[in-house]
Amino acid sequence: MNNTDLQKQIPRIVIVGGGFGGLAAAKALKHTPARITLIDRTNHHLFQPLLYQVATSVLTPGQIAAPIREVLRNQQNSTVILGEVTAVDKEQRIVRFDTIDRAGVVEPYDYLVLATGVRHSYFGHPEFEKFAPGLKNLADAVAIRNKILSAFEQAEAEEDPKKHRDILTFVLVGAGPTGVEMASAIGVLVRKTLRSEFRRVDPSSVRVVLVDMAPRVLGTFPQELSFAARRRLEDLGVQVLLGQGVDQIDEDGVVIAGERIASKTVIWTAGVAPSPAGKWLNVETDRAGRVKVRADLTVPCHPEIFVVGDTASLDQDAKPLPGVAQVAIQGGRYAGKLIHARVTGASPPGPFRYFDKGNMAVVGQGFVVLQSGKLCLSGFFAWLMWAVVHLCFLALFSMQVSVFLQWVWTYLTGRRGSRLIVNHEPFSRAEQHTSQQPAKELLGKNA
């Protein structure tokens, strides 16, 4: 038997997505006699729970993201491809994707794991996206960091203090964990870091507004933790508006319950929608568009296709599994183990069951609300537990060390990791106006 025939007998496993679910599946297949191809639209694995810290200048992008190839560098059965999947053919068992220089590249599979995550959802108002960016990837985080820092620079250059209020109003739409963490982080940024560096900006002119239709912040947490989080937000100067929806968002601000709030920085922290995996597969989905899977995370009638994480819809104890990182990690690990058992002929694991380790949310420096089973904690001790857990789940040891040292430094001094405005052209309008002015004057004279 030649090498070509031998390669054909080796199972081909394709994993789409290098997030928590996809990476967990790949690692679980480390010792599987198979050819694994992981396809992702970026070349890095992102630790999304800390994205808000990049957006608020605590950490740098490199401290929460690691090249997927480096994470899997010792896994000889795995190949990483930078590409964007566009279709899945279930009958021919192929995945189609685009690379940097080619379109419609085909990758065959014997087993397929879809771990494609989520994207922003503006609840039927796609026009909001232009004025209210969300926070799902590194580009989003850097763009939001640019907007926040640019607002302070604009205020510093503005001689009229009456205009500072509108320039330094930050509106966050959505009071879930992302919204609460972002709002409180902006509050700490103003109080701890920026107040001593700007001469014309009065910290009292900064306004942070957190708005949500829900009756309380952190609605998935127990009520006592929700109330503790709100008190902490208000102590940090965050204005919390609940039970009110956003009617309009434009370049001048937002309209909430008929009242306009002038703001140059609106951040969308509300809804998410699953990837188009359901459309690729042409299978049954739930109302949100997530693929309905069986108890072993496979697609009905297609036991070779697994869907994990935010893209999957599965009920446990009559409740849908939440879209959190631990569900994706445990689901990806389970899919990898089941595929390994099928390939090697080992005993397969039983149905997938998610073990809920609890929920955490940071509300400013040194304060976390934590719920695990019947245990509810808030304050500094909960923050220490949060820090340990998050450090452990960073992809590389070098990242763990770097983030730990940065957190200690920031906590002790208030100094941030990166407050750089990048990929920004603050003078483009002025230059354009200057370059056009002689032409306008010439036209006026000729007229």
Domain ranges, ordered by start, for the chain: 3-120+272-344, 121-271+365-413
Instruction: Select which of 153, 156, 181, 304 is catalytic.
Output: 181
Which stretch of DSSP H or E encloses residue 160?
none
Q: Which of 297, 278, 281 is nearest to 289 (CA)?
A: 278
* Residue 2 pLDDT exceeds 60: no
Calculate mean pLDDT across residues 333-360: 95
What's residue 194's pLDDT?
A: 79
Q: Which residue has the tokens 């459309």?
A: 279
* Residue 365 pLDDT exceeds 50: yes
pLDDT band at 301 (very low <50, low <70, confident <90, very high): very high
Model confidence pLDDT, tens digit, residues 393-434: 999 999 999 999 999 998 888 888 788 888 756 555 555 554
* Residue 34 pLDDT exceeds 70: yes
Q: Which of 416, 367, 413 is nearest to 58 (CA)?
A: 416
What's residue 412's pLDDT?
A: 87
Q: What is the mean pLDDT of the chain?
A: 90
Is 181 among the residues known to form the active site? Answer: yes
Model confidence pLDDT, tens digit, residues 44-58: 999 999 999 999 999
Calculate mean pLDDT across residues 63-72: 96
Distance CA 299, CA 78 (A): 24
pLDDT band at 445 (very low <50, low <70, confident <90, very high): very low
What's residue 273's pLDDT?
A: 81
What number of H helices and E strands is found in the chain?
13, 27
Class for the domain spanning 121-271+365-413:
alpha beta
CATH 3.50.50.60 correct for 3-120+272-344: yes
What's residue 8's pLDDT?
A: 58
What's residue 441's pLDDT?
A: 45
Global pTM? Answer: 0.88
Q: Which of 285, 349, 350, 344 is nearest to 320 (CA)?
A: 285
* Residue 440 pLDDT exceeds 70: no
pLDDT band at 447 (very low <50, low <70, confident <90, very high): very low
* DSSP assigned state of 32: S
* Residue 71 pLDDT exceeds 60: yes
What's residue 429's pLDDT?
A: 55
Q: For residue 53, give both structure tokens.
A: 């810290």
